[in-house]
Structure 1
Amino acid sequence: MTSDPSLRDDLALALRLADAADAVAMARFDAADLRIDTKPDRTHVTEADLATERAIRGILDAERPDDAILGEEYGTSGDTARRWVIDPIDGTHNYMRGIPVWATLIALTVDGVPQVGVVSQPALGRRWWAATGLGAWTNGRDGEPRRIHVSGVDDIAHSSISFQSIEQWDDVDLVPTLERLARAVWRDRGYGDALPYMWLAEGRLELVAEFGVKEYDIAAIAPIVREAGGRFSAFDGSDRLDAESSLATNGVLHDDFLAFLHAEDAP
């Protein structure tokens, strides 16, 4: 093991972690006897969530023993500037219902800044990845890596957006703002979870906004959006990952969307 791995090395490792995670998660996807439990916060967790995170942690313990880890299911281990952030199955409710829209999210943050991100959706046969300075990529139809970039749409009225769920906006008393936004854009849909962020990075959407998110929900997404030329922030415009909100745009419209969503005359 090198004492100071480069981001290129870290990205290569993150992709191998995703390979291992895909194998574990897909082995139990849509299984009739899948074990499902309820966590103290009343959200669901499956045996696959736990097994997938254990598989990722096992590789990190062997290859990056000095790095810290934050995982949704097993919490935090270590306290260093370099920290791997893992959501073993983002979209557990889809996973446990046999809906193929779920992903493993793997990130590396350095001093709290996301530098490497991998979003792997094996049930759809798709994966996206990025590292600071190395661009954002996905697997093309032919299996070859293809660089991706956000759209150049520069008018909110011509934009296509994903708002995740109405419930999220209701929890922060912003349903009237969402309704106003939906009337202002060309198209709005609640696609949900990590996938719409990846569509944004590919230039298919111009905004994705979400509330109630944790660091492990968004750390892997941020570098992909940014390396694709977009912007990623909290709802207040800050770069914090602990603000429990996210706002991803094609960059061109980021300030316009922030101004629209925080307009003084907004309900």
Structure 2
Amino acid sequence: MNGPEPRRADASRRADLELALRLADLADGITARRFRALDLRVREKPDRTPVTDADTAVESAVRDALGRARPGDAFAGEESGGRVGAGRTWLVDPVDGTKNFLRGIPVWATLIALLEDGRPTAGVISAPALHSRWWAAAGLGARLRRGPAGTTPVPLRVSAVGRLDQAYLSTTSVRTWDVFHSRAAYLRLAGACWEDRAFGDFLQHCMVAEGTLDIAAEPVVAPWDIAAVQILVEEAGGLCTDLFGGCPRSGTGALSANPRLHRLAVDTLSAAP
């Protein structure tokens, strides 16, 4: 029924989204200063992935700000860890695309998402070196601002392409399919599509939400990698799942697509060789 409850829910979602956008401003202030800095400090984590001083500074600053603004909410981040349970949990990937960041390539972003009982309800992807920011909240749609603060954002909608042989596909790295899923499965999907590229990481999922890409598939993601882009893709009318159609935070990869292509992609990836 229509009435006070839906209006209160919308107001709460807007407040959470506004907070996430402010947190992204905070993160951008740190990452923009450290990008291409001559004294950037880099170390290798146990899994042999790099982490920079910008990663740790952003995560610490966002965690502290959330502790003041939402002291009752849980927190999980790529560098400090944490887990998603019942209730409200903020997930933060301070620099998604750290290898790009440390090499001076501008394709990286801070990802901030709120999960409520395991489902993302708000998310922001902020890529200041690309002058782009994407955001969404449950029931409120998905938006992109390309340009400085104050630029009018535009609503997002996934593509209407309905055939694999007309679809544009992206992944992050073909090599990771050998380790985490199956290179043959990815090549089967790529062979069925019109074109494939490796735009990688957050950007390919954002492009699916924009409708400029049709499918983004990667064999491994962490919860903080995918929560913000999941709500973005869903609010743009698409589907974001794992490679088998389940929860994208299950540890079995991520697949974003418009609804017409999603099942075709799942079936192609799952088909026997």
Is the CA contact 2:85–2:118 (under 8 Å) kept in the aligned structure 1? Answer: no
Q: Extract unaligned runs of 5+ from structure 1.
A: none
Structure 1 Cα separation of the partners of residues 241 and 131 of structure 2: 28
Q: Which amino acid aligns with 2:263?
A: D
Q: Deviation at 1:196? A: 0.9
Q: Does 1:250 align with 2:264?
A: no
SS class of match (2:90): strand
Counterpart AA for 2:241? S
How many Å apart are 1:173 and its aligned residue?
4.9
Which residue of 2 is the match for residue 196 of structure 1?
A: 204
Asked if 1:210 corresponds to 2:194, the answer is no
Aligned partners of 2:248, 2:44: CA distance in 1, in Å?
A: 29
Alignment-derived partner of residue 121 in structure 2: 115
**1:252 aligns to what SS in structure 2?**
helix
After TM superposition, list the pairs within 5 Å mapping 1:41-56 onto structure 2: 41-56=47-62
Of 214, 232, 246, which residue of structure 2 is paired with 1:238?
246
Aligned-residue offset at 1:139: 0.6
The correspondence of residues 1-267 of structure 1 with structure 2, limited to 5 A, is: 6-76=12-82, 81-140=87-146, 143-264=151-272, 267=273
Equivalent position amino acid for 1:200 in 2: V
CA distance in 2 between partners of 1:77 and 1:248 (Å): 23
Q: Give distance in 2, aligned partners of 1:136 and 1:175.
A: 32
Letter in 1 for 2:73: D
Per-residue CA deviation, residues 52-86 of structure 1 (Å, 9 max, x unaligned), is: 11111121011000000001111228965100000
Q: Percent identity?
A: 47
- Confirm or deny: 8 A CA contact 1:68 1:80 kept in the other structure: no
Q: Is the 8 A contact 1:94 1:101 kept in 2?
A: yes
Q: Letter of the aligned partner of 1:220 in structure 2?
A: A
- Secondary structure of the corresponding residue to residue 122 of structure 2: strand
Is 2:181–2:219's contact at 8 Å kept on the other side of the alignment? no
TM-score normalised over the length of structure 1: 0.94
Q: Which moved more, 1:96-105 or 1:244-253?
A: 244-253
Q: Deviations over 1:150-194 (max 9, x none)?
A: 000011110000022111111135112222222211110011110
Aligned equivalents of 1:77, 1:150: Cα separation in 2: 30
How many residues of Structure 1 are paired with residues of Structure 2 in the alignment?
A: 263
In terms of fraction of residues, the more helix-rich structure is 2
Gap change, CA 1:220 and 1:124, over 3 Å in 2: same
Seen in structure 2, the aligned counterparts of structure 1 residues 139 and 72 have a Cα distance that, compared at 3 Å, is: same
Asked if 2 retains the 8 angstrom alpha-carbon contact of 1:14 and 1:118, the reply is: yes
Question: Which of 17-26 and 164-173 deviates more?
Answer: 164-173
Q: 1:240, CA displacement in angstroms?
A: 4.5
Kindly provide the CA deviation profile for residues 15-36 of structure 1, in whole angstroms up to 9, marking residues without a partner as x. Answer: 0000000001111100111011
The question of whether the paired residues in 1 share the 8 Å contact of 2:112 and 2:123 is answered with yes
8 A contact 1:67–1:80 mirrored in 2: no
**Pairwise CA RMSD of aligned residues?**
1.8
Q: Secondary structure at the match of 1:137?
A: strand
Alignment check: 8 A CA contact 2:240 2:248 kept: no
Bigger shift: residues 220-229 or 210-219: 210-219
Separation in 2 of the partners of 1:108 and 1:196? 21
Return the offset for 1:256: 1.2
User: Which stretches of structure 1, 4 residues or longer, exceed 3 Å deviation after superposition?
Assistant: 77-80
Cα gap change, 1:11 to 1:21, in 2 (>3 Å): same
Contact 1:154 1:253 (8 Å CA) reproduced: yes
Contact 1:214 1:244 in 2 (8 A): no
